[in-house]
Amino acid sequence: MNPFLQDVAKDLVAKFGENLQNCAIVFNNKRPTAYLQKHLADIYQKPFWSPSFYTVSEFFAEATSLKIADHYTQFFTLYDCYIQLLKNEGIEKLPSIAKFHNIARIILGDFSQIDNDLVDANRLFTELEDIAVINQQFDFLTAEQKAFLSQFWESYSEGKFKKQQELFIRMWHRMPLLYNEFHQQLKTKDFITMARLYKNIGEGTNEIDFTAKYTGKKLVFIGFNALSKAEAKAFKRWQDEDKAIFYFDTDSYYLEDEMQESGLFLRRNLKQIGLINQLLNETSFIKTSTRAVNVFKVQGQTAQAKIVTELLAKEKELILNNQAITSTAIILADESLLIPLMQTIPSTIEDKKVDVNITMGFGLANSSLYGLTDLWLTVQSELSAKKTIKYQTAEAFLSHPLTGISEIMRPKIIDALIKEQLAEVPYQRLTRQGGLLAKFFEPIDSTANTVTILNELLDYVLHRELASKSLKKIDAELFGKTIQELNRLQDTLQHHIDKYNKEIELSFVLSLIQKSLAEIAVPLEGDPLSGIQIMGLLESRNLNFDRVIILGLNEGIVPQASTSTTFIPDSLRRVYGLPVLENQDAISAYMFYRLIQRAQNLDFVYNSLTDESNSGEPSRFIKQLEYESGFNFNHQELQLAVKTELKREEVVLKSEKVQEVLNKYLSGQKYLSASALTTYISNPIDFFYKYVAGIEEPKEVEETVEAYKVGLILHYAMEQFYEQLRIISPEITVERIKDKRKDIPELIIEGFADSLYGDKKEPKEIRLTHVKRLAKTIKLNGMEKIVFAIVNEYISIILKQDTEDAPFTLIGLEQKGNVEFSFEANGKNQHIKLYGIIDRVDLKNGGYRIVDYKTGGDKLKYSSIEECFDTDCGNINKALIQTLFYTYVYEQISKNENVEPNLYVVKSMSKDGIHFTGKGGLLRNEFLASEKQAFLNALRTKLKELFDYSIPFRASQNSGNYVYSIYTTLFGR
């Protein structure tokens, strides 16, 4: 079947012959022009004078000598009018220009719709609370419309006003005055909005009779569907004046069926308005032949793009046979799929070029240039609040491809910031590096210079990229378009910036820049008449293809699930015939049905994954078409094979290099800590990666104290709590604990400062002074307040226990010590130094106690010492091993063999106590003595295994022992 524009071309040639050059052909977008020109050329088969081609907005613009006001001009004019209106009302507290900007977008949108649909703004915004007034003044309304109007005003009846309702009513009352003054001010400046121009043309009050020369039906409108009332009125008048003819792309399948929403506007155009279609309305292309429709259910956005390669099998054959692809289109219902699709379609197939034409253009928002610009806006926003930059912002700049930071310089700067743990970086630290950093991080000195400074910055980057010859053509075009748009914005701002002086906030200008640049796009190369065509649904209007692949055909996308924000409620929109959600659905339905009605091969792809932006459901148009069309639907679910690495038994042999590291433990160059020991017991291969290979997680600057640092803060606060008591006297009593309790909040804040900024390499006294100074500047955020409350509660639990145990004598706090330990390995006696940092040692009733604080889920119960040292066992009690380890170290240092291990598990100590419990009962007295010996025996056995160079490092057979390991990907688990 012929494409719609081919049928139009044939009819135009038949009607006008050689006189077609005198006609004006109007489309709703530019895309169809090339197609119609091709069809006309195919028919004429010789050179001919082309008619004039317009988009409808271009054509209507000829009706006035006024300039069409852009968004900036409209906004500033509206702001001036609104402020003057408030002043006239005697309101002293006026909204800032930044706060008004978002409201202005809504107001301007409403004003446009009012004009486009020829609504009387004064009548729309009139306060109508009396049903009698409605019946008298609005006798032209239907009963249903009057019901809508009554329903709206009932909620605002006198005596029921709430604060939000009052604010709405005030705004509602201002609207007619604002509307009229806005248009008057624009006209005074020789400007007009496009919507107001539509209104003038619809009512026949436009200043220039721009259609006078088109008598004899020389004005040709092609492919229109949803018409505003202004368009409909003008079109009907021109038809009656014998100036205009119309070509509607229809199908009786949905045109004659009143239940079909896709034919809603065409039925209005043809039957209510009375426009005449020059083509037949009775034809049904959908019912002409039965077609096969493939529906693909895939999981994820990227998967939709990936499947296209498989769907283009026929096109690949044409390319390999040196045949042109002339009628294949990939329609992106979800336009965010453009980048994944571009990355998926190959540029060549067996050295033969794949021709692709992208109608949508490439958006600046998808480019690294936009990322750099957006980053600069973020930097200036942060600098305006406080003269520092967040570390993450600085890191993003250093990692950006357009900054030109060398691979040598980048890690040096990042390492320096991490070392100092600068969550907030003074901007001078970056600007003193010179070059782009000096330009990028310099605070703006004046709001008026904002756009100019950004323009100079981008110009600097552009010239550097040109000098390095690394600039791609698409990036060069984006740079050009961006700089052009910034110049236009600066010109507009300059007219208003002096008038408002300091009233224009920097945040507003930054927001204006961001919104302006987000809409920039540049065209991509391609032939619109051949090759694979990629476009959005809007761009597909008037065009037909034999092969149509639609991606992103999900409910909520086609049709869209939301409408634009408005001050005009739905009930009033229905009264005055303004667009409502059903209109949007009907437009989407028409674009969908019109696209498929002449296509022979149809493939629909939708994303079945549900997330915050996707319903996971196919568009209802798919189900509707399947139910009533008679097409043969073939549903397929694309199951992407998820390949995981096979579990392998990863072992690391103790090579000479590994032995060199292990020998440092035996020679006393390295100490074995309690945590290193428990790491080896739980998962030996973790010990290799961490303590032998030295592989650690990348260090980062942390802007906030997260929940995992609860233990660090608690240890700091408890150490300082008892250290300050011990300086006065090591004898701890109930009274002294209670009296000191008031200092805990301050100590916790110091703990925050220590966890964020404390340098463990500094001498203790210097570090504590630094921490106490920084603690005075800390302001806790939401998460940190929660952490503060948790630590405070944990300390209360510890002090409750200590109050019950008091009096006792403090012996040591955070006491470090190392002792030599002998064992046999590789057939000879070996020595290693055991190293520990003991939270607390105290003396009570003549007995020494080791006290270890734990904020995690540690348990006091254990089965046996032997099981605790069994790598493949699931009953390893790390806390027991560590506490006995500390006990042994302290006993060797103090020459006291009767030290008792206590564990303060703050989450459960109120219920479970502080003593370990094994099969022999509480770990105290004689049972403790025997378990200490069992511990030493098990330790010697485990160390013999560690330093036996014939036994490799391997993963535990119990996966629970490495569930939190950071090395699982390295050892295949």
The 3-state secondary structure of 332-380, one letter per residue: ECCHHHHHHHHHHCCCEECCEECCEEECCCEEHHHCHHHHHHHHHHHHH
pLDDT at residue number 158:
47
Share of the chain above pLDDT 90, in %: 58
Q: In this structure, are residues 426 and 391 in contact, taking their beta carbons and an 8 Å threshold? A: no
Angle, nearest 10°, between helix axes 782-805 and 744-757? 130
Digit-coded pLDDT (tens) for 687-698: 999 999 999 877
Per-residue pLDDT at 246: 98
Phi-psi region of 577 (alpha: psi -120 to 50; beta: other; left: phi over 0): left
Asked if residue 383 has pLDDT above 80, the reply is: yes
Quote the distance between the C-alpha of residue 207 and its chain's center.
48
Lowest-confidence range among 62-71, 162-171, 914-923? Answer: 162-171
The pLDDT tens digits of the residues spanning 323-353 come to 878 899 999 999 889 989 988 888 888 888 8
pLDDT at 857: 84
pLDDT at 132: 45
- In this structure, the strands spanning 808-825 and 828-844 are antiparallel
Question: Per-residue pLDDT for 962 more than 60?
Answer: yes
Q: With 80 as the cut, is the pLDDT of residue 661 above it?
A: yes
Mean pLDDT of the chain: 88
CA distance 943 to 680: 10
DSSP class of residue 213?
G
Residue 911 has pLDDT above 50, yes or no: yes
- pLDDT band at residue 882 using 50, 70 and 90 as cut-offs: very high
pLDDT > 60? residue 528 = yes
More confident residue, 391 or 166: 391
Dump pLDDT digits (tens) for 798-811: 999 999 999 999 99
Residue type for 138, please? F
> With 0-12 CB in 10 A as exposed, 13-18 as middle and 19+ as buried, what is 584?
middle
In three-state secondary structure terms, 684 is helix
Could you tell me which residues are beta bridge partners of residue 861? 917
Is 406 a residue whose pLDDT tops 90?
Answer: no
Using a pLDDT cut of 70, give the percent of the chain over it. Answer: 92
pLDDT tens-digit map of 278-314: 999 999 999 988 899 999 999 988 889 989 988 998 8
Query: Average pLDDT in the 86-92 region?
Result: 89
Q: Distances in Å between the alpha carbon of 576 and those of 125, 194, 573?
A: 11, 20, 5
What is the average pLDDT across 415-441? 83
State the Cα angle at 540 between 199 and 552, rounded to 5°: 115
What is the DSSP code (8-state) at residue 728? H
Average pLDDT value for residue range 462-466? 90
Residue 721 CA, distance from chain mean position: 44
Q: What is the pLDDT of residue 124?
A: 84
> What is residue 151's predicted lDDT score, i.e. its pLDDT?
60
Beta partners for residue 918, in sequence order: 921
Overall average pLDDT of the 847-860 stretch: 90
User: 220 is written with which tokens?
Assistant: 């040709």
Q: Is the pLDDT of residue 819 over 90?
A: yes
| Across 429-458, average pLDDT | 89
Q: Residue 219 forms beta bridges with which residues? A: 24, 244
Which residues are registered as beta bridge partners of 603?
294, 549
Tokens 């010239």 -> residue? 463
For residues 398-418, give the mean pLDDT.
85
Predicted pLDDT at 129: 43
pLDDT for the residue numbered 173: 82
> Which of 215-219, 672-676, 689-693, 776-780 is predicted with the least confidence, judged by mean pLDDT?
776-780
So what's the pLDDT on residue 764?
76
Q: Is the pLDDT of residue 232 over 90?
A: yes
Asked if the model's pLDDT at residue 154 lies above 70, the reply is no
Q: CA-CA distance, 879 to 889, in Å (whole number)?
A: 15
CA 247 from centre of chain: 43
Query: In the prediction, which pLDDT does 131 show?
Result: 40
Distance CA 253, CA 593 (A): 10
The band of 554, judged by pLDDT with boundaries at 50, 70 and 90, is: very high
Nearest to 439 by CA among 462, 456, 414, 417: 456
For residue 602, what is the DSSP state?
E
Lowest mean pLDDT among 17-21, 127-131, 935-939: 127-131
pLDDT of residue 189: 93
Per-residue model confidence (pLDDT) at position 181: 96
- Give the model confidence (pLDDT) of 108-146 as tens digits: 999 999 999 999 998 888 754 444 455 555 555 666 666
Supply the pLDDT for residue 820: 94
| Separation between Cα atoms, residue 453 and residue 441, nearest integer Å | 11
pLDDT at position 185 over 90:
yes
What is the band of 153 on the pLDDT scale with cuts at 50, 70, 90? low
Q: Supply the pLDDT for residue 448.
A: 83
Strands 244-247 and 921-922: unpaired
Q: Which residues pair with 356 in a beta bridge?
A: 532
Unique residue bearing structure tokens 């756009």? 451
- Give the C-alpha separation, 543 to 29, whole Å: 11
Q: Which residues pair with 815 in a beta bridge?
A: 838
Q: Which residues pair with 835 in a beta bridge?
A: 673, 818
Q: What is the pTM of this model?
A: 0.75
